[in-house]
Chain A
Amino acid sequence: MADEQYRRDYAQHLIEQVNKGHMTRRQMLVRASVFGFSATAAGSLLAACGGGETSSSASPSASGGPAPVMGGTLIGVIPPSLTQMDPVTIYDQGGIVLVQQVCEYLIALDNENGLKPSLAESWEGNEDGSVWTFTLRQGVTFNDGSPFEAEDVVTSMDRVLDPKSGSGALSALGGLLSPGGTVATDTYTVTFNLDKPFADFPYLVCQSSYNTCILSRNLKGAFIDSPVGTGPFMVEEYVDKQKCVMVKNPKYWGKDAAGNQLPYLDGVTWTMIQDESAANLQLQSGTIDFQPQTVFQGSQALFSDPNLRVDVYPSTGIREVAFNLQQEPWKSAPKELRQAVAYCLDREALNMALFDGRSTVGVDTFWDPAVFPGSPTPAPRAQDYTKAKELLATAGYPDGLEIELTYSKYLENPQFAQLIQEQCKPAGITVKLNFVPYDAFYAGEDNVTPWLNAPMVIVEWGSRPTPGVFAQAMLLPTSTWSSSHWDNKDFASTFDEYMATTDEAKRTELGTTLSQIQQDDTPIMVAYYISQLRTQKKDIYGIQGPGSFYCIMSEAFKAA
């Protein structure tokens, strides 16, 4: 367990890294937050670094907005959840947005993917990141009046770690934290004893790991029958696939910067609408006040609506184009074949065609400073047909190649697939498109499901807070969701070292190595990072949430 001396040393190390120019002030704040430095302590670190750039943590809506107004209700629109509202198993937007109004996490995310205290006031890791100690907020009660204590954290974590619970959290925590690894040291202290070091562990107990919300230790039966949580709102009425009426939680612990009791609103009503066109028409008609996630495709009319404001947030959501190394032609071909395809893509043109230029161009590595502050700068990968043809010849395909690309009908995937097809053609690569219905794409056991077994696939991934979380999920031999089945021993061993390192200079060095290996070997293509759109009426402010559909309403209000 880290002691005070270690924290002081680490703080000094961060300051030195900034002063030497090895780290930006923004990067320093992110790393400080991961290691549990409070906002005050982080501010002191920032001051110790001297003058310069300032943090830009204010949300687009919060900056320059009017004074908060208490009371009132808002109507939001979300897609209906396919399943019952169960925090342990939710995975779709509708379910997650609702649960996150009622339940909270040990740590919250700010609008730039940084960590901020929530039910945990502070946290710290030991030197190799294998033991993490969280100090819990005191005086918090669940909306049924029962006190929030360490035992609630233990039961919540053990619940999602039980395979019988069906929680998706197990896929991220499996191999890192075992049942029994979460220990209540005292009433307000919890220790996580990890199975192996993991420097980004706090991200796995924050809201982006949405199944790890803290539920009451007394929870029995279906959550929706007794929706008890510590969050700012409570469920008053829930009608499957139609609506959820929420009212403010009078016992909520949160206060704003001025000391006002949160939430500002008296309530939020969520209307569930599956069809994007229908939702957009309701926004335009004024029936609906806001939409946490607006899909770019088909929503262009919202941008020019004089009554609406569409905020654009940076996000780390991607479309992974994976080369399955267990299938031909990739199985027998060297990496040059994959690189040839990667050099066919004009990423700027894709961004313009698919998102009107509103997204961020990707270059086939997760360690990309454009989206993850602190990442090394990767080599550019612009469209280059001459190079692509040379690589094809080196790979043994001088006369061109025919490949099959499998994808599902999900947002821009069909257009993306067609653009890949067109952009590959001049290099002599014929892409045969294999469209599969969304359900069929993810159907079947792991050894038959198309998304993990087709030769080349487009897979949609939501935001992840760090490059390591992405890599852990899809690029290691042990990854549950590896569509590429990449097995690169250098990458895997460097990654283990990276996740067990808390020294920032060393992490940057290892991140550079990982970035180079990933980009050079090209098991997958990352052509763009998708920006997140959130639509609201022009007089609505304060909706918070990082670059995904997370939607924190505690400081939302309608201007007078």
Chain B
Amino acid sequence: MLRLIGRRLLLMIPTLILVSILVFALAEVLPGDVGRTILGPYATQEQVEILNQQMGVDRPLYERYLSWAGGFVTGDWGESLLLKTAVFPTVMRALGNSLILAGFALVIIVPTSILIGVFAGLRRDSALDRTITVSTLSMTVIPEFVSGVILLYIFAVWLKWLPVTAMPPAGSNFFDRFYYLILPAIPLMFLELGYIARMARVGTVQVLAMPYIRTAVLKGLPRRRVIFGHVLRNAMVPTVTVIGSQVGWLIGGLVVIETLFVYPGIGKVMVDAAQYHDVVMLEASVLVVAVIYMIANLIADIVVALLNPRIRMGG
């Protein structure tokens, strides 16, 4: 297995090179230029051209890419074109925030979804199963912006039970931080619950129909042992794959939640960088999220392989 993991890690290198080239090229076709963004609509074109020249963004695309890539691989992530601050600490600070939010959301979402999904699967076609399926599906289709605003209005503005922002004041302790993350985690749970719970339900239903489960029941194993010893382990294979694919999104794709709850995460950094032509910041943030995404998928594959040894990774 170690050899396979090593191979997957090596494959990340060409993938990241391809991603970096694509990002550079795509940023080029976006309308506008960074000089105009920095100086604003009231600066003259001559001033914009002088600034673009000073920053070197008027050089050919390949020259700029090679210059950036050379610095990036040697640890020099450069300076934001807009903010004139070092990219590395900015991206790492935002990534840290995103990891905390995603981690907190996953801690709530994963056990809840699996519990609900397995519960529904064990009571297939019952009224409870249908209620769970319909309600989780309904929650999934509500955009996070809508559920977020409603939750904020009820719990932060009206009842004042929870804070209106996801970022605690400076000096807050570890537990305060989670108190501030409760509200933003709920819309994420709404989105993910239906998806992951349905996968857990389907997995459970499929495993329950397997001959080895029938055998286990017929040979008189207690129901609890059948469920925890056989059903859950095997039903989790598709669920873990889905969770693995969602981790990348939970870290890099929460722009709406970050915007609404004023949370300085990596998603907003990426969107701002793309929108305002800060290609140096964009490259670093996209590549970091890409690495996280690939590692999450690799871990999911490892977990799947551990759950079901018949599955051969990479094969």
Contact = CB atoms under 8 A, between A and B. Distances in A.
Contact of B36 (A171, A284, A287, A443): A443
A241 B260 contact: no
Contacts of A445: 45
B262 A271 contact: yes
Contacts of A167: 43, 47
A437 B31 contact: yes
Given A82-B276, A437-B31, A444-B32, A166 B164 contact: no
B174 interface: no
Interface in A75-108: 82-84, 89, 91-92
Interface in B258-298: 259-262, 264, 272, 275-276
A83 B39 CA distance: 9
B84 interface: yes
A476 B45 CA distance: 18
Interface stretch (B11-19, B125-133, B152-160): B152-160
Contact of B46 (A163, A168, A242, A439): A163
A166 B43 contact: yes
Contact of A287 (B33, B47, B163): B163
Contacts of A444: 31-32
Interface residues of A, number: 42
Given A273-B262, A274-B259, A281-B149, A84 B44 contact: no
B42 interface: yes
A443 B32 contact: yes
B262 to A, nearest CB: 5
B264 A241 contact: yes
A281 B33 contact: no
A470 to B, nearest CB: 13
Interface in A151-169: 163-168
A550 B113 CA distance: 50
A284 B54 CA distance: 45
The size bracket of the interface on B is 35 or more
B92 to A, nearest CB: 14
A352 interface: no
B262 A278 contact: yes
Contacts of A174: 44
B83 interface: yes
B54 to A, nearest CB: 8
Contacts of B156: 281, 285
A275 interface: yes
Q: Which of B48, B85, B164 has the most CB of A within 10 A?
A: B164
B60 interface: no
A170 B32 contact: no
A77 to B, nearest CB: 9
Contacts of B41: 91, 442, 451, 481
Interface string A410-446: 0000000000000000000000000001011011111
A439 B31 contact: yes
A171 B43 contact: yes
Given A82-B276, A287-B163, A166 B50 contact: yes
Contact of A171 (B44, B54, B85, B152): B44
A240 interface: yes
B157 A285 contact: yes
A171 to B, nearest CB: 5
A92 B39 CA distance: 10
A493 interface: no
B300 to A, nearest CB: 33
Contacts of B165: 282, 287
B186 interface: no
A330 to B, nearest CB: 23
Given A273-B262, A285-B164, A440-B32, A240 B42 contact: no
B261 A278 contact: yes
B246 interface: no
Given A222-B84, A277-B260, A282-B165, A439 B275 contact: yes
A363 to B, nearest CB: 26
- Pick the 6 closest A-B CB pairs, nearest first: A91-B40, A443-B32, A168-B42, A440-B31, A443-B31, A285-B164
A442 B36 contact: yes
B259 A275 contact: yes
B51 interface: yes
Given A83-B38, A287-B165, A281 B32 contact: no
Contacts of B262: 271, 273, 275, 278, 282
Nearest to A436: B31
Interface string A261-279: 0000000000101110110
Contacts, number: 117
A278 B156 CA distance: 12
A5 B102 CA distance: 74
A240 B47 contact: no
A163 B33 CA distance: 18
Contacts of A241: 83, 264, 272
A282 B164 contact: yes
A281 B260 CA distance: 9
B232 interface: no
A305 B122 CA distance: 49
Nearest to B85: A240
25 contacts: A82-B38, A89-B39, A91-B39, A163-B44, A163-B46, A165-B47, A166-B38, A166-B50, A171-B43, A240-B85, A275-B260, A277-B260, A278-B261, A281-B152, A281-B156, A281-B157, A282-B165, A284-B153, A284-B157, A287-B165, A439-B31, A440-B32, A442-B41, A444-B31, A445-B45
A394 interface: no
Contacts of B37: 82-83, 439
Given A285-B164, A287-B164, A92 B40 contact: yes
B83 A240 contact: yes
B239 to A, nearest CB: 33
B245 interface: no
B45 A446 contact: yes
A281 B39 contact: no
A126 interface: no
A166 B39 contact: yes
Nearest to A445: B45
A480 interface: yes
Nearest to B167: A242
A343 to B, nearest CB: 30
A285 B158 CA distance: 8
Contacts of B54: 164
A84 B81 CA distance: 10
A240 B90 contact: yes
A163 B47 contact: yes
Nearest to A95: B40
B40 A168 contact: yes
Nearest to B54: A164
B82 interface: yes
B181 to A, nearest CB: 16
A91 B42 contact: yes
Given A174-B44, A281-B164, 19 more contacts: A82-B37, A83-B82, A89-B38, A91-B40, A163-B44, A163-B46, A165-B47, A166-B38, A166-B48, A167-B47, A168-B42, A277-B149, A278-B261, A282-B164, A285-B157, A440-B32, A443-B33, A444-B32, A480-B44
A137 B33 CA distance: 42
A480 B164 CA distance: 44
